Structure 1
Amino acid sequence: MLSELRIRNFALIDRLTVRLGPGLNVLTGETGAGKSIIVGALSLLLGERASADVVRAGEDRASVEGVFDVAGRDDVARILDERGIDADDDGLLVLKREVAVEGRNRAWINGSPTTAAVLGELGRALVDLHGQHEHQTLLKRDEQRAILDAYAANAPLLSRVREAHGTAAGLRREIAGLDARRREAAQRADFLRFQAEEIEAASLRSGEEEALEDEARRLSHSEELQSISGGLADAVSGSERALLHEVGALRRQIDQLVRIDPAQGDVRELYETAYYSLQELGERMERYAAGIEHDPRRLDEIRRRQDLLFRLKTKYGATVDEVLEVGRRARAELDLVDNAEWELEGLRKKLAAAEAELGAAAAKLTTARTAAMKRLSGEVCAVLPELGMSGGAVFRAERVPLDAPGAFGAEEVEFRVSLNRGFEPKPLSYVASGGEMSRIMLALKTILARLDSIPTLVFDEVDAGIGGRVALQVGDKMRDVAGTHQVFAITHLPQIASRAHVHLLVRKGERDGRTTTDVLPLEADNRIHEIARMLGGDPESAVSLEHARELLERGVGV
């Protein structure tokens, strides 16, 4: 239940606190006093998109704060727990929204920063706000279907239908994608086959380019390499004047040095290391020189191979690895042509099973909706006379079958009404005026309220287009709804205002040279005078005052 609404610097409002109670709360006042502004502020608090235009002229920011009694609301506790927000032990929930003139907006829950989206999620659990614009939404089949499903508690069945539809839709996309790739591959089959066969015939190997380049370099410089390595072998060990013989002659001097000074014994190890390293160098150069080949044919083969690699890279990629990848992709696409039909057949079988599941789930939903349509039609028809729509007014919820089940089932839902006996019911948009739409909406709200867990219902001038005895009936019905829900209504009708448990007057004033809006709770004589004003004529006349007393006595007593 919404217990308090605090508004600061919002439109015409300077500072305003609205205290609400259980039951039917009505907001009345002269046209332009700011009644709808208060509902607009509540909409902002509950997650509606913010605009800097709502900030009162001359101020930096506007804020709206609401205090809700959520004791025992496990769904609200769950939302708070999922967001890591602490709930108050006294069962109060404080929501706050702030809009700055530069466009920035912020939100809080129990003092913890949050987002407008989270406020909206909580708002949908706490308040059902019905404004004049919703007359148009009620004309839409989607909204009518949602109302029927809420009435029938079809959420589990609807969830199964959506899940089955999602599975089937996913399989259809997969089949379409695979088939498109198969057809594209089939159209390119000759080109792909040429690519794959040309690349595969080349027997490419990763890293081949570098190996060929190294071998070609050696073959093209074979004479130079043999001359250098042979010269090194001769210099190291190929003659009596070679380095190895010269170093060998130093052995006696090393031995003599160590005999005289044993502390230099490690010199012998250094000498031996140098000697054997020279010996290994000479042998290696000798083997290298002997192994060098002068093979012009092999060099020609390498050059031809390099030319082939160059041509393939020019056509298919900058490196051999990229060329190999092109070949793999081409072969994979060709395999797709050969194997796709088998894969498609498997997917089609899965799709058939998914569509069967969708059909079965949709059929169960249709059965539930058909039964609910009959019940809802009967209940609305029973309520309409209580709202002044007698004389044979008929309401029907009808199913409009679809060609195939969709995400919301196998049918659309359409509300139809006949306001005069003997006429076939037609869609709401064909026959209902604004006032009649208000009463049909109130009839639906009356019925759904018994099933609805949302504690607060807000009606913004839902009484448009009605008056007289019908207004009395509407007021009585709103008071009935207020027996199970908190109802907050803006009204111009004294018949409805007289039924309220809490009557609030919105009054425009002036403070420090600026227009302001105030809200005053009305009791006893003050309330009688306001009802008299709403009746028209002279609000101070004895007739008007007596009429106001009669309305109040019939409604709630004074």
Structure 2
Amino acid sequence: MLTELRVRDLAVIADVTLPLQPGLNVLTGETGAGKSLVVDALALLLGERASADVVRPGAEKTIVEGAFEFVSAVHRHLLPPFAALGIELEEGRLVLKREVLREGKSRAWVNGSPTTIGVLAEIGALLVDLHGQHETQSLLRPDAQRDMLDAYADADVERVAVRDAYTRFKELESREAELTTRQADVRRKADYLRHVLQEIERAKPKLGEDETLEVEAKRLAHAEELGRLARELEETVDAAGLTKAQKILASLLRVDPSLGKWQELLDSAFAGAAELAQAARLYASEIEADPERLNTVEQRRDLLFRLQQKHGPSIADVLAARDAAARELELLDTADLDLRSIAADRATASDEFARACTALTEKRTAGAKKLGRAVNRLLPSLGMEGGRFEARLLRRTTHDARGAEDIVFDVKLNEGLEARPLARVASGGEISRLMLALKVVLASHDVVPTLVFDEVDQGIGGEVGGRVGEALMDVSREGRQALVITHLPQIAVYADQHLVVAKGKKGGLATSDVEVVEGEGRVKEIARMLGDADMATARRHAIELLKTASEKSASQSGTPTPPVRAHPNR
């Protein structure tokens, strides 16, 4: 949740830091003090479009910074989407920053690292719902409406079943299409494949054969020269030179016996010379010109060359082409059987998918009715006697992994008006209270940790205001947080933290400041909202409202009621 918001040089705000707490945070102040600017600042921080006219006169840029901290359950939920955005949550903490320059350009940072405004908006959708004159409300998105209804209808198992059944069905459909295409392709080129197979099988090429034949062809083409050179080598390698060497070495040994190892070397030379002479003699006797054999070798080489030209630079490639042709031709024999098998599996998968969709539709239908009843029960107490809500299921022409229908939240704000999709209803106090009713009903299923309401009290007062305050208190429990801009004391008294915006002057410019009020300061602010901060009647009424709200809050949370410290007669 949002723990701190700092705003610098935004319109009439010079430099304000708002400390925020879990639970209900209420922001009050006189008309024109700049309360809504705080929400505007938060919207900027969460990726809303900005213009240069937001920059405070005399300043170079507007700066908004926000610090978020998350309880373990929210932290676990946020890890996957944040990882997809390439963002690490450092010990459950996140710091966002946005600058809007006077020329209209924007810059943004996440945990000190530069990012885009688009990423900031994606983060904002995960962290905060802004209800008012802003387009960052998660419940306006069709996917969020579907997810909310499914969670409320306890349809997680059915959702997974639909997704898995659809994936299985599409895999089989894809395999069937691929195999059908391959079969048709093989049929078109079957004659060519048979020719390739027969041509290579007739030739029966062997790995390394081309290299062996190349060596043999050279020997046959140069047989006479090779024989002559071998005989010359035999005649040259004789024992004459080595015999003379033996005599000289014997003379050396008589004088210096330490040269005995030289004798071993000379003996080896004698043996090597004899072996070389014998090999040369054998080679010369075996090699002979054979024009007929040379012609046969050249023809075989020519055949292999043509195959290599057609099917690859090497014999290995030629053999691979043979095997590939054989496999493709084999497909003609097996494809029909495989296609029948896949078609049977696909039909089974289609039936399973249809059953899974039916089960999910049943859960959604029941959940939609239950959700509609729950929200509509709340609307009269929130000042919307003629308001109606309905979660509508729209049948899809083609089913997919999301099921057989789209989900649309329809609303009717007053009697005589037609129901319209929630996303197409203009913002205002009534839609904010409708959103509040939805949030109260869906509280245990909503994963957005922070809610902001800017116009929730528009057009109401008195008892309805108190009911709205109670609803806001309800929706900000269980580790959640709400920030409410209000002019109604009946709402403000339910705050866990009360902040007051006041306008003054600094350096000749209008300036708004924010302070947390408690005790006497809070009584005075509630009295001001009732009509007169210094009137004894207003102060007594303020103390009574605070006491009643504190008792209701304590009864819901099970904690003792703290006393309201104030001086009613002052």
| TM-score bracket for this pair, using the shorter chain length | 0.7 to 0.9
Which of 289, 293, 302 is matched with 1:307 structurally? 302
- What's the counterpart of residue 524 of structure 1? 523
The answer for the alignment partner of 1:458 in structure 2 is 452
Are 1:147 and 2:148 counterparts? yes
Partner of 2:96: 97
Please state if 1:401 is matched with 2:404. no
Percent of matched pairs sharing the same residue:
39
The corresponding residue for 2:26 is: 26
Instruction: Give the CA deviation at 1:377.
Output: 1.9
| 3-state secondary structure, aligned to 2:95 | strand
Q: Secondary structure at the match of 2:318?
A: helix
Aligned pair 1:335/2:338, yes or no? no
Distance 1:23 1:410 in 2: 38
Q: Give the aligned residue type for 1:295.
A: D
Structure 1 residue corresponding to 2:472, chosen from 478, 482, 494: 478
Does the 8 Å CA contact 1:499/1:556 hold for their aligned counterparts?
A: no
User: How far is 1:290 from its partner?
Assistant: 0.7
Q: Write the mapping of 1:239-318 to structure 2, written as runs, cut at 5 A.
A: 243-245=238-240, 247-248=242-243, 251=246, 254-255=249-250, 258-259=253-254, 261-318=256-313
Q: Deviations over 1:410-434 (max 9, x none)?
A: 3323334556779996755788885
In structure 1, C-alpha distance between the alignment counterparts of 2:62 and 2:413, rounded to whole Å: 49
Residue 375 of structure 1: how far off its partner (Å)? 1.6
SS in 2 for 1:204: coil
Deviation string, structure 1 residues 71-102 (Cα, Å, up to 9, x no partner): xx455379789999785xxxxx6532234679
Indicate conservation of the 8 Å contact 2:526/2:533, yes or no: no
CA contact (8 A) 1:471 1:496 kept: yes
By how many angstroms is 1:281 displaced?
1.6
Normalised by the length of structure 1, the TM-score is 0.76
Secondary structure, in 3 states, of the residue corresponding to 1:265?
Answer: helix
Range with bigger deviation, 374-383 or 191-200: 191-200
In structure 1, how many angstroms separate the alpha carbons of the residues matched to 2:414 and 2:88? 56
Q: Counterpart of 1:164?
A: 165
Alpha-carbon distance in 2 for matches of 1:360, 1:337: 35
* Equivalent position to 1:387, from 373, 382, 387: 382
Supply the distance in 2 between the matched residues of 1:128 and 1:499 (Cα, whole angstroms).
20
Over the aligned positions, Cα root-mean-square deviation in angstroms equals 4.6
Q: Distance in 1 between matches of 2:278 and 2:156?
A: 89
| Cα pair 2:502 2:513 within 8 Å, conserved | yes
> For each residue in 1:261-289, what CA deviation from the matched residue of structure 2 results, as whole angstroms up to 9, or x when unmatched?
53333333233222222211211111111
Q: In structure 1, what is the Cα distance between the partners aligned to 2:141 and 2:327?
A: 50
Q: What amino acid is aligned across from residue 97 of structure 2 in structure 1? A: E
Q: Is the 8 A contact 1:76 1:122 kept in 2?
A: no
Question: In the superposition, relative to structure 1, how do residues 52 and 97 fare at CA in structure 2: closer, same or farther (>3 Å)?
Answer: farther
| Residue identity matched to 2:362 | T
**Contact 1:503/1:527 (<8 A) preserved:** no
SS of 2:239's equivalent? Answer: helix
SS in 2 for 1:438: helix
CA contact (8 A) 1:507 1:517 kept: yes
The alpha-carbon distance between structure 1 residues 298 and 473, as it changes in their structure 2 partners (threshold 3 A), is same
Distance in 1 (CA, whole Å) between partners of 2:126 and 2:544 is 35
- Cross-structure match for 2:186: 185
**Amino acid of the structure 1 residue aligned with 2:110:** A
Give the 3 Å change call, closer, same or farther, for CA 327–517 of structure 1 in structure 2. Answer: farther
Q: Deviations over 1:213-236 (max 9, x none)?
A: 222211111111111112222333
Task: Report matched runs for 1:497-536 at 5 Å.
Answer: 497=492, 500=495, 502-512=497-507, 516-521=511-516, 523-530=522-529, 532=531
Distance 2:260 2:424 in 1: 118
Whether contact under 8 Å (1:76, 1:125) holds in the other structure is no
What SS does structure 1 have at the residue aligned with 2:17?
Answer: strand
Moved more, 345-354 or 289-298: 345-354
CA distance in 1, matches of 2:140, 2:124: 24
Query: Is 1:322 matched up with 2:317?
Result: yes
Match of 1:372 among 326, 345, 367: 367
CA distance in 1, matches of 2:106, 2:424: 42
Matches within 5 A, 1:427-442: 434-442=428-436
From the superposition, tell whether residues 321 and 450 of structure 1 become closer, same or farther in structure 2 (CA, over 3 Å): closer
Residue 447 (1) aligns with residue 441 (2): yes
| Contact map agreement 1:27 1:505 (CA 8 A) in 2 | yes
Q: Does residue 107 in structure 1 map to residue 110 in structure 2?
A: yes
User: Secondary structure at the residue paired with 2:266?
Assistant: helix
Q: What's the offset of the Cα at 1:291?
A: 0.8
Q: Tell me, what secondary structure is at the counterpart of 2:442?
A: helix
Distance 1:207 1:37, change over 3 A: farther
1:393-424 Cα deviation digits (max 9, x unpaired): 54333333334542122332333455677999
Deviation digits for residues 20-45 of structure 1 (CA, Å, limit 9, x no counterpart): 45653322456775544433554676
| Separation (CA, whole Å) in 2 of partners of 1:435 and 1:190 | 76
Contact 1:151 1:372 (8 Å CA) reproduced: yes
Residue 105 of structure 1 and its aligned partner are, at CA, apart by: 4.6
* Corresponding residue for residue 215 of structure 1: 216
Structure 2 vs 1, CA of residues 22 and 226 (structure 1 numbering), >3 Å: closer, same or farther?
closer
Q: 1:455 to 1:224 in 2, by over 3 A?
A: closer
Q: What is the distance in 2 between the residues matched to 1:405 and 1:258?
A: 103
Structure 2 unaligned regions, length at least 5: 549-567
Partner Cα distance (2:420, 2:318) in 1: 69
Counterpart CA distance in 2 for 1:429 and 1:252 is 114
Gaps of 5+ in 1: 88-92, 237-242, 533-538
In 1: Cα distance, 2:288 partner to 2:32 partner: 106
Q: Which letter maps to 2:17?
A: T
Aligned residue-pair number? 530
Residue 525 of structure 1 aligns with an amino acid whose one-letter code is K
- The answer to whether structure 1 residue 39 and structure 2 residue 39 are counterparts is yes
Residue 356 of structure 1, CA deviation: 4.1
Aligned equivalents of 2:477, 2:275: Cα separation in 1: 108
| Contact 1:498/1:531 (<8 A) preserved | no
**Counterpart AA for 1:15:** D
Q: Compared with structure 1, are the counterparts of its residues 163 and 50 closer, same or farther at alpha carbon in structure 2 (3 Å cutoff)?
A: farther
Q: 1:285-324 CA distances to partner (integer Å, 9 max, x unpaired)?
A: 1111111121112222232233333333333333333333
1:224 is aligned to: 225
Over 3 Å counting, the alpha-carbon distance change for 1:227 and 1:462 in structure 2 is farther
For normalisation by structure 2, the TM-score amounts to: 0.75
Change (3 A) 1:388 1:181: same
Q: Does 1:66 align with 2:52?
A: no
Letter in 2 for 1:232: L
Range with bigger deviation, 301-310 or 210-219: 301-310
Q: Deviations over 1:197-244 (max 9, x none)?
A: 3333332233333222222211111111111112222333xxxxxx32
Q: AA paired with 1:460?
A: D
CA contact (8 A) 1:497 1:531 kept: no
TM superposition shift of 1:194: 2.6
Amino acid at match of 1:410: A
1:358 partner amino acid? F
**1:293 & 1:468 partners in 2: Cα distance?**
120
The reply to whether residue 17 of structure 1 matches residue 1 of structure 2 is no
Give the match for residue 196 of structure 1: 197
